[in-house]
Amino acid sequence: MTAIAFACGAFLSTLGGGLFALRFRKAIRYILAFAAGVLVGVASFDLLPEILRVAERIGADVRSAMVALVLGFLAFHSIEKFVLVHGAREQDYAAHHHPAVGVLSALALVGHSFLDGLGIGLGFQVSASVGIAVAIAVIAHDFCDGMNTVSLMLVNRNGARRAFTMLALDAAAPVAGAASAAFLELSPRVLMLYLGFFAGFLLYIGASDVLPEAHSGARAGQALALVGLTVAGAAFAYAAVRLA
């Protein structure tokens, strides 16, 4: 039930991000900069140390988890480049705005959000502190997911009503993912590999997707504020991990 409660936070974050994208656009880069720091911070300050603790406890070779981390990084890089899930920018679609493209891309984000919720549930299988830290990262990231879902729908000539429908599906997906984790019981070794894979995903999304989007087209005066917000996001992640 704890995992589902935190997944409800992801639901609200996704919904809030989508509604924000429907109403405001000018302040979006500052939120993205902070979220990037949170994502990288959680991967670095919580998931990686937890992987080392699990490996030491079960006598496993930690290098296998690092291989999983690299695979996670590369897998989501491939998804972004070939499935157009993340990093979809309006200029990339200048020549072909098709409603079906927006729907398919938004559906891919829904599937990704389901895995976010699954990550929360599996994180709580490791420990409460890992579950809370993963939930914080997912909640921060899902605000961006909500914005991406709406943006992908609108830029591909889908109406606001259809965009909101896809946003609702995307928001509900983490709750379904967290609930499904209750039916999975993974061994510590498999959980260690999953944490490595998930850490690679967070590092990619934060450093290679969200952060470049925040700085895209930023003026020189904005860059310093954006860097400061990214540092603040990482510091927030560190404090949250310590408190958890």
What is the pLDDT at residue 92?
46
Query: How far does the chain reach from its first CA to its final CA, in angstroms?
Result: 18
Report for 26-35, 97-106, 146-155, 202-211: range of highest mean pLDDT? 202-211
CA angle, 130 as apex, 127 and 135 as ends, to 5°?
Answer: 125
What digits encode the pLDDT tens for the residues 79-97?
A: 767 655 444 444 444 444 4
| Among candidate residues 133, 110, 108, 113, the one with its CA nearest the CA of residue 3 | 133
What is the pLDDT at residue 175?
92
Q: pTM above the 0.75 mark? A: no
What is the pLDDT at residue 88?
47
Report for 24-28, 52-56, 148-152: range of highest mean pLDDT? 52-56
Note whether 43 and 172 are within 8 A (CB): no
What digits encode the pLDDT tens for the residues 107-129?
A: 766 877 887 888 888 888 878 88
Please state the three-class secondary structure of the chain as a single string: CHHHHHHHHHHHHHHHHHHHHHHCCCCHHHHHHHHHHHHHHHHHHHHHHHHHHHHHHHCCCCHHHHHHHHHHHHHHHHHHHHHCCCCCCHHHHCCCCCHHHHHHHHHHHHHHHHHHHHHHHHHHHHCHHHHHHHHHHHHHHHHHHHHHHHHHHHHCCCCHHHHHHHHHHHHHHHHHHHHHHHHCCCCHHHHHHHHHHHHHHHHHHHHHHHHHHHHCCCCHHHHHHHHHHHHHHHHHHHHHHHHC
What digits encode the pLDDT tens for the residues 134-193?
A: 888 888 777 767 776 776 676 566 777 888 888 899 899 999 989 988 888 778 888 888
Structural domain spans, the chain: 2-243
